[in-house]
Each structure stands twice: as C-alpha cells, then as structure tokens.
Amino acid sequence: MTSYIARGRRLSGALAAAALAVLSPQMALADESGISFWLPGLYGSLSATPSTPGWSIAAIYYHASVGASGGAAASREFQVGRFSPNVNIDLNLSVHGQADLMLIAPTYTFATPVLGGQLSATLASVYGRNSASLAGTLTTAAGPIVSTHNGFLEDALVSYGDLYPTFRLKWNNGVHNYMVYGAGDIPVGDYSALRLSNIGLGHGAIDFGGGYTYLNPTTGTELSGVGGFTYNFKNPDTQYQSGIDFHFDWGVSQFLSKQIFVGFVGYGYQQITDDSGQPAVLGGFRSRVFGVGPQIGYIFPIGSNHAFLGLKGYGEFAAANRPSGWNTWLTFSISEAVPTSTLTPTRHSASK
C-alpha cells in the first residue's frame, strides 16, 4: 500500500509539471491561443461594390474585450508510463483578453479591367496592444490519490503585427455586385511561443472566398455577404497547426441620404477540421463564434477626395473553444474622388 501511494505521489508530481503546459494558451484554446488569422467582422456593408481606380488608404481602430471559462476537458483518461494506473483529469480554465489595435491598409485599384472586373491589391499591417490572462485549476485522480493544481498567467504586449496581402476582383451589373478575393498572412510580426499575448500570429495562412452586394440606388437599400475558408500552416515554434475554418461576414443598411447610412452587421465563424500537433491533451476540438450589432456610416468630401467614417460593433454569442465578448470597429478611409456621373454610395466601400 505504501509503495502504491508513493507511486501515486510521483505520478501527481509529474502531472503538476504537466499542468503548466496544459494551462498554456496553445493548449487551452482551439485556433492556437484562441486567435485566428481571420478577424470576424473584417468585411461589412458595400464589400463587393467596385471602388474608384487609384490609391486609397484605410485606418481601422479595433477594440475587443473577450473572455471564456468552464471545463476545457472533463474526466479525460490516459495512461502515464507503462505500469501507471489510469488517470482522470478535470481542467477548468478562465481566459480574459483585451485588444486595442490600429490596422493600416493602403490599397491600389487598377483602372484596366481584369477578366471584365476591377482588380485591387492591399498590403495591411497592424500595431497596438494586446493583453491576456489565463487562470486554471487542474484536478487529477489516480486511484485513491486526488490532487489539485492551480495556475495563473498574465501578459501584455505593445508591438507590431504581421503583413496581410489581399487581392480582390470585383464586378458590377446594375444593382448586383460580385467579388472574389485571396488573402494571406506573412508571419513577420512580434511573436513568441513563451508569451501569453502576441500581436504576430506565429505562422502563415492563406484565405480564399467571395462576396456579393445588392445596392439599389433608388431605394437606398443595401445588403452584403462575404464568405471564405482559411488554411493555417504549422507554427514552427510550437509544431501546432490550427484547423481549416469557414467564416461569413454580412451587413444590411439603409441610406438615409447619399451620405449617411445605418443598419446592422454580423458574422459567423466555424472551424471545420481539427487542430493538430502538440500533445493533444484537450483533443482536436473546433472553435465557433457568432456576432451581431449595429452600424452607421458617413461619406463626405475632403478637398477633391472622398472620405468614409464608419462605426460598427458586435456582441458575440454561441462561442465554443474560443473566447467571446464584444468588439468595436472605427474606420476612416480616404480615396480619390468618385466621378460625378456615378452615384456616390455605389462606389465607396464600407469594408476595409
């Protein structure tokens, strides 16, 4: 009996060390650290409408406050060592995070048609502050031996992020507007696998999708939807690979005049394949989140150019394996003037 208890204590000691790994952000959340390449809400109203050829630039201030808690793994059994008894593990985590980021996105729109549509290229990056805290309780039971381990981590970082190239091709046919796009992540941002908070993603990603906008200049009614899929490459620092995800952003609005519109925005995000890589103590679970909220936009001239100022916010719900909360977007963009023969709302996009 004494030897069995001693073996159980040695086993609990080993699990105490493992608890620190289990409480790391990479193990705690799907989409490594609970952060995906695709930022839900990136697109909104007027996403697929063609824009004015030439240079434009958008500055987006993004604020988010999120949290998650609950049992990340319930009564998982696995064997530690060849002759060790089975071990029951209960893991409860509480995650909180806050982001204040500034996204700068210069875009060049080509005047020469490509495949009958309008081609544009964007190279965006981000700078700002990201903070996070992670608290957890790990309870293990090996036969009659029960032990509990608590952990708490917090971190904050002010730095720069990755580069995000995006190519879009848009077509207009009366009130119908169509778009296809390809985007990627060049992982040059500030990232460390040893930190809880990062601005850089730590790995590359590619994303492809398409969108549609209905815009009736007579009634001022507008609705847009953009969907796509993200493939994540393996993080070379952690050997962790996030699964493929599907995302859909939408917006509906009503122009009160040629300059002002109001409406609603929303998004859905669903991971469709498992995470893989590092010890799968928590399994290859998949993340999900939905969001919805109000929006307002204002289009106005600045000298000979046109500007857009927009505010939108989302409250999140039905999240799984991912923090959720609320986020707001304040967008200011400026572009070359729209030809006077064209109705302003049809040529100025409220997306990034």
Give the pairing type, strands 118-142 and 86-109.
Answer: antiparallel
Q: Which of 198, 209, 202 is nearest to 185 (CA)?
A: 202
- The token pair at 306 is 């046109």
pLDDT tens digit at each of 352 positions of the chain: 333 333 333 333 433 333 333 344 444 455 666 678 999 999 999 999 999 999 999 999 999 999 876 544 334 443 444 444 566 766 677 878 899 999 999 999 999 999 999 999 999 999 999 998 878 777 777 777 878 877 778 889 999 999 999 999 999 999 999 999 999 999 999 999 888 889 999 999 999 999 999 999 999 999 999 999 999 999 999 888 989 999 999 999 999 999 999 999 999 999 999 888 765 445 567 889 999 999 999 999 998 899 999 999 999 999 988 888 999 999 999 998 765 433 344 444 445 5
- The token pair at 316 is 């999140």
Domain boundaries of the chain, sorted by first residue: 33-67+98-132+155-347
Q: What superfamily in CATH does domain 33-67+98-132+155-347 come from?
A: monomeric porin ompg (2.40.160.40)
What is the spatial distance between Cα 266 and Cα 169, in angstroms, rounded to a whole number? 23
